[in-house]
Amino acid sequence: MTIPEIENEIQSEFTMFEDWMDKYNYLIDLGKSLPLIDEKYKTDQFIISGCQSKVWLHAAFREGLVFFTADSDAIITKGIVSLLIRVLSGQSPDSIIQADLAFVDQIGLREHLSPTRSNGLSSMIKQMKLYATVFKMKMGS
């Protein structure tokens, strides 16, 4: 699936819920289904700075596509990073770099996060795009 197709799917899922408590619970459930990051990547080197809670993010590059794994010590944050991974993992570096990730605002996520969590969300996106940029540069060399 393309990034816009996955974003549309997520938007549809979030419209099923009336209030934000239900949406938060859904985010928590998504976090529980996040594939576990290999313990060797749960080091300071893989922590995303700018997040209120600890978030470890690892990226691998296989057959021209970027694959992400992550973990967090906070359940909401784990749900947020699981959404980002669902959209961006398995995509090409160019697709990741160009993704506007409008679904984040369209589902109301950013407006319902505390300022520090919203900053963390931005930091996660920035780090994922940075990984994609590095992989793209390696492809070109």
* Catalytic positions, written as ranges: 51
CA–CA separation, 14 and 35 (whole Å) = 21
- Identify how many contiguous H helices and E strands the chain contains and give both numbers: 6, 2
What do you get for the CA distance between the two ends of the chain, in Å? 28
C-beta separation of 82 from 31 below 8 A: yes
């970027």: which residue's tokens?
66
CA–CA separation, 130 and 8 (whole Å) = 24
